[in-house]
Structures are given as structure tokens and as C-alpha cells.
Structure 1
């Protein structure tokens, strides 16, 4: 089936802009994606694209992101039966476009895939293809017992010490599942603040 849209980094990048790639994965904290996009776009010279796993779209409506001024890219946009050598490859074009990558939220499943080097969807292919020089932030979000599982600490070690991503959080709070404890995603405003401070972004005067 042919793709309905295409993304070319060269034509999408602007020299005077900060290009923020927000990645959402299968955690209920994905519900915050439209808020993150909307807030980032309150700043001057910022462009935002969103890349989502299928399961993360359980928790937010892509139309809300589009209405905020961005686009959501999924596995459906990656390959088509009509692909031929030389055609743009979405995960490569997106990594060429990005100045900074935020994986918010990063589920236990995606964390394990990153640590293991998996490339089985658009998100993990994109992350595997990233330049080591691209600032990348991981915001874990999962149930407390999933976070306390011994494999999680090992995956986080690999992500920090081998892959060299920045890991922020999780935080403790009452979780969506009803449990209380460590495992919630960093507050979405604090995620935006990281980008604002790193690039010294200026708010749009209204």
C-alpha cells in the first residue's frame, strides 16, 4: 500500500529553528504528548515532530497533536509496497531532521528494546540510526514493580553508560494503575523546560 505522505529532512529543516523530535511509547503518560507539543510551540523558532508506537496512540488522539501544530508519524508511514532504492526512508529522514530527541514516555518495553539494540518499528529504528552527537533524553514511565525489576536497572545502565542517552526520572506519585510509588514520567512541564533551557528559547509574545 503506498504511503499517503512523505518527509524529507532537507526541505523540512529551517536554519534558524530548533527541531524537537518527541517520541511516545506504550505508557499512559503518552496522554501528555499534546500538552508537550503545544507548550514547545509557544516558543520562537521551534518545530516539533512526533513519532509514536502503535500502543502509545491508545492514550492520546493524533488529531490533538495536529491541532497543536505538529504531525504524528507511525509505522504505517515507514515503508510501502512501492518502495524502491533511492526513495526517502522515514526513520533516516527524521533523525537527520532532529536537533534533540525526547522519548517521553519511555515504556519498559521500549527501554528494553533500546538496550538490546532492537529495530522492529519506526521508533526503535530511528533511535538506532541516531547520530551519537544528537542530544537524546529518555523519560522512563512504568509501574513501580516494573521499574524495580532487576532487568530495568540493567537496561538503564546500558542506556546511560553504553548508548550515552540522558535518563531523567522517573518520579514517585500515584500511578494510573492505582499503585503508588516510583515509576511515573517526569512532569511534562519539566520536560519542556529541559529544551527551553538548553536552547535558550524565547517565548512568543501574544
Structure 2
């Protein structure tokens, strides 16, 4: 059946529980670095939820090697599921003290804004308590970012859903374009968590 995740068993008192969601942007390549840097701090646990497109850009084994796990869609509904069994997206949201969607692709941004929950990541976000700090780090091509629908999606995510949007920044993009659309620097993403929870290095 595979590994079962139960929040009550996975949470450790006194620890900060960081949930990193990766989506279909090339910036997902930074996921192992973000996890590794977070785990250099005392009393931190990290779990990663990856959309299928994001797995194009990083190796799951690289995240496992530094001390975390990667959860994907196929981990959620098992063929032998029965009523009363733990539901992964619910258990993960119960576990999290903070959620980072880094990177947040144009597609996932649109899904969040429209309340779509068609994968593990978006189901988790839809089920998330509004009291959990949730940060969105957009990452997409400049013209995708400048598309009028993006501004509307960002408005809904910030003003209605009340997530914190950070970035994007301007730089040379993976597609070869130069402009606004790159994910915030990964070390700065880690620093947000460090500052919010006053984490100390090991």
C-alpha cells in the first residue's frame, strides 16, 4: 500500500513544519536547495508536495537525500482505500505550520484563483485553514506574467484567498527572454521562514 502519512504521528512538538509545494515551472529545480537549506536549521521538518509537471525539473532522490519526502498525486487515493482511512491532502494540511508554493506556475495560480482542486497540491490548498501562513512565489514567462488574467488571478489570491504573494523578479529567464517573471531567489524564500519562526541554525 505504500507509506501512510498521519499528521498526528508526524508532527513533533516544538518543531516548525514547512510544506513546500512545487509546480510546473523550471524554478522547481531549486526544490532540493530550499529543502536542504531549511533543514540546516534547528527543529525544522519539511515535506514536499510536487505536481506531476514539476517533477520534470528536479530529482525526487535529491530531496530524499537531504532528509525530506516528496508526495505526488498517486500517493493520495489507493486502490484499497476505504472510508475512514487517512486522506493525504487533509493530513498534510493538518501537519503544516507554513505553506510555500515555490514556484507557483501560471497554471497553478489560475487553479488557486478559481478554486480548482484536481491534484494533491490544489486539493491541499483548498482544504487549508486560513490561519496557516501561505506564500505564493509566482514563476512564469514574462508575457505570461503580463497577461491581463494573471493580474486578476493575483488579485483573487491576495484579496479573496488572502495568501501572501512574493515576487516575481526580473532576470534572464530559462526560455531565453529577459524580464519580470522569475521566482524570488531561493535563499530569500528560506529567509522568510527563518524570520517568521525565528529559526536558529544547527
Q: Report the TM-score when normalising by structure 1.
A: 0.98
Give 1:184-199 correspondences, 5 Å limit: 184-199=182-197
In the alignment, what sits opposite 1:68?
66
In the alignment, what sits opposite 1:134?
132
Q: Does 1:144 align with 2:159?
A: no
In the alignment, what sits opposite 1:23?
21
Q: Does 1:99 align with 2:92?
A: no
Runs of 4+ with >2 A deviation: none
In the alignment, what sits opposite 1:9?
7
In the alignment, what sits opposite 1:78?
76
In the alignment, what sits opposite 1:115?
113
Taking the aligned partners of 1:35 and 1:59, their CA distance within structure 2 comes to: 13
Taking the aligned partners of 2:2 and 2:197, their CA distance within structure 1 comes to: 33
Kindly report the root-mean-square deviation, in angstroms, between the aligned alpha carbons of the 2 structures.
0.4
Give the length in aligned residue pairs: 202
Query: What is the deviation of 1:157?
Result: 0.1
SS of residue paired to 2:200 = coil
Taking the aligned partners of 1:5 and 1:173, their CA distance within structure 2 comes to: 40
Structure 1 residue runs of 5 or longer lacking an equivalent are none
Structure 2 residue runs of 5 or longer lacking an equivalent are none
In the alignment, what sits opposite 1:168?
166
In the alignment, what sits opposite 2:85?
87
Query: What is the deviation of 1:81?
Result: 1.5
Taking the aligned partners of 1:80 and 1:12, their CA distance within structure 2 comes to: 20
Q: Report the TM-score when normalising by structure 2.
A: 1.00
Taking the aligned partners of 1:202 and 1:80, their CA distance within structure 2 comes to: 39
